[in-house]
Amino acid sequence: MEMEMLILFLLLPFVPLYLFRLLNSNARKSITEVDHHHQLQLPPGSSGWPIIGEGLAFLMTAKRGVPEKFIGDRRIKFSSSSHSKSSICKVFTTSLLRESVAVLCTAAGNKFLFSNENKLVHSWWPENIYTIFAGSDRPESHEESIRLRKVLSPFFSPNCLQKYVGIMDAFTKRHLDVFWSDKKQVKVLALTKMHTFALVCKIFLNVEDPSVIAKLEEPIQHIAAGFIALPINLPGTAFNRAIKASMQVRKDLEEMVQQRRIDLDRFRQTATASDVNENSNYQDLMSKLLMDTYSDGRQMKETDIADIANKLNGLLIAAYDNVFITLCSIVMYLSELSTVYDAVLKEQMEIASSSKAEGELLNWGDIQKMKYTWNVVCEVLRLEPPNPGTFREAMSDFVYEGYLIPKGMKLYWSVFSTHKDPEYFPDPKKFDPSRFDGGGPAPYSYVPFGGGPRMCPGREYARLTILVFMHNLITRFRWEKVFPDEKMVMTPFLLPTKGLPVRLYPHTSSL
């Protein structure tokens, strides 16, 4: 960080020149666009500081625990200058990650973006991500997304995932036995990270060796930090660390994929297709990706192996960060809300005791009974979403709410536009799982997993791992925070400020 501040300082003398060029180019751009679109204007907004734009304001509101304020303040500020029929601003422009970005701030805005995927907009990721995942297909590519989803969807479908419930349950029980039982106090952040990553390695890679897991986990911790770092690739910067970490993980994954391909080929020589499909060594995501790639029997190619390793790299990060952050938020809320805790405990105890033989593991039917517990998770994801939103890019000029959105402009949807807006969620600060009863929230207002064709493909996997973890944790312990005022804060990733140490109180056998 210090290195980045230094570089920023060194760049400061060039700011006036940059500003002059920026203003000129923006002015030229908007005149041509206005001519072309019969005097339509861009949405109201401000571009903030040169180079950093409004990125700092965005990060500061998040760090202060009020990420919704960045959007809320601008909606108020730009409401009077809004051209739309209603006076409340529905779209404004800002400057983030060195891009001019239109922020759509209503449920209708979410619907517009999600339902126009690959018609008016397509997915867009900041340039940092392409550099960090160098060599991979550009993740906004529509064809690549369809191809990836085609391969992933059988694996992530409820039909397939239900086979993993027992494995997840046994795995979670073992984790709690080793790292939580007989402890008076534990650090929840460290343990949920360890558990989430080990589980992902088991289900995605069929890897259980702690030394292999640790070798992958160490660099993976640095990758996400590089997504939003200043793009300065010099030793000591977060960006440089993320690039190196991603290369290291890819290299390790490539070796694993190569070895698995050899093992799989050997096994196939003596087995039938159904043997391969049923064999427990080849039920993981890596094996499925290999079987899909080589289903036509072609020779192993370096590029195929690198491609699979890249996909796994991205999936490991997506599954790891979002899930352990959610687990931390859940533990945090349940330590603060005793009536919610009691209601979850009651539901889970009923599942644990109902028609279960001694030692019998959870199954798919049990997961379906966890209705109240899932409502609690949904409410946690409304208030503390680990992924606050993503970008799209305009594929052609179009008009939104009376404003011109020129081709190439970036668009942003954010969970914070709607999740804490009283219009969609009355008394938005109140923790109220009953919001998800019946029909649930208004369409497109509750979007922790995004929406449309790019909606998170891992949501069912996330649901299972979270529910299985909650079942096991709550049926064993009650807990209290060591630091009563500790909160989850976005820095910019949502994390507990002190690592969430909790004191554990195992249930007595009478419970």
**Residues at the contact surface with ligand HEM, assessed by CB under 6 A:** 123, 139, 145, 315, 318-319, 322-323, 326, 381, 385-387, 390, 448-451, 454-458, 461-462
Of 315 and 362, the one with the shorter C-beta distance to ligand HEM is: 315
Compare residues 75 and 463 and give the one whose CB is closer to ligand HEM: 463
In the complex, least distance from residue 416 CB atom to ligand HEM, rounded to whole angstroms: 12
Indicate the residue among 109 and 448 with the shorter CB distance to ligand HEM.
448
Buried/exposed code over 485-503 (b: 16+ C-beta within 10 A; e: otherwise)? ebebbbebbbbbeeebbbe
- Picking from 102, 106, 82, the residue whose alpha carbon sits closest to that of residue 93 is 102
Q: Which is nearer to ligand HEM, 305 or 464 (CB)?
A: 464
> Closer to ligand HEM at the Cβ: 141 or 491?
141
Q: Which H or E run contains 506?
A: strand 501-506
Residues 200, 217 contacting (CB under 8 angstroms): no
Judged by beta carbon, residue 264 or residue 381, the one nearer ligand HEM is 381
Measured in degrees and rounded to the nearest 5, phi and psi for residue 91 equal: -155, 135
Closest residue by Cα to residue 259 from 223, 319, 207, 295: 207
Task: Provide, rounded to whole angstroms, the least separation between the CB of residue 54 and ligand HEM.
Answer: 21
Q: Which residue is nearest to ligand HEM (CB)?
A: 458
Q: Which residue, 326 or 348, is less far from ligand HEM as judged by CB?
A: 326
Q: For residues 237 and 387, which CB has a smaller minimum distance to ligand HEM in the complex?
A: 387
Least Å from the CB of residue 233 to ligand HEM: 25
Q: Which CB atom, from 345 or from 456, has the smaller least distance to ligand HEM?
A: 456
CB of 288 to ligand HEM, least distance (A): 12
Extract the tokens encoding 128.
């940092």
Q: CA 322, 328, 330 angle in degrees (round to 5)?
A: 100
130-143 burial string, b = 16+ CB within 10 Å, else e? eebbeebbebbeee
CB of 15 to ligand HEM, least distance (A): 33
Q: State which residue, 219 or 450, has the beta carbon closest to ligand HEM.
A: 450
The SS3 call for residue 343 is: helix
DSSP string, 95-149: EETTEEEEEE-SHHHHHHHHHTBTTTEEEE--HHHHHHTTTSPPTT-HHHHHHHH
Report d(CA 237, CA 198) in Å as an integer: 28
Nearest approach in angstroms of CB 482 to ligand HEM is 25
Indicate the burial class of 78 (C-beta count within 10 angstroms; 0-12, 13-18, 19 or more): buried
Q: CA 422, CA 432: separation in Å to the nearest integer?
A: 13
CB of 285 vs ligand HEM, minimal distance in Å: 8
- Shortest Å, Cβ 311 to ligand HEM: 9
Task: Kindly state the smallest distance separating residue 413's Cβ from ligand HEM, in Å.
Answer: 7
Tell me if 140 sits within 8 A of 122, measured CB to CB.
yes
**In sequence order, which residues have a C-beta less than 8 Å from that of residue 508 and are 6 or more positions away?**
none
Contact 57, 46 (CB under 8 A): no
| Cis omega (within 30 of 0) for bond into 492 | yes
CB of 465 to ligand HEM, least distance (A): 7
Min CB(387)–ligand HEM separation in Å: 4
Q: What are phi and psi of 409, to 5 degrees?
A: -65, 145
Q: How far apart are CA 458 and CA 180, in angstroms?
A: 27
Nearer residue to ligand HEM within complex by CB, 158 or 236? 158
Nearest distance from residue 454's CB to ligand HEM, in Å?
4
Could you tell me whether strands 91-96 and 99-104 are parallel, antiparallel, or unpaired per DSSP bridges? Answer: antiparallel
Which residue type does 274 have? Answer: S
Which residue, 95 or 387, has its beta carbon nearer to ligand HEM?
387
Burial code (b: 16+ CB inside 10 Å, e: under 16) for 195-227 equals bbbbbbbbbbbbbeeeeebeebbebbbbbbebb
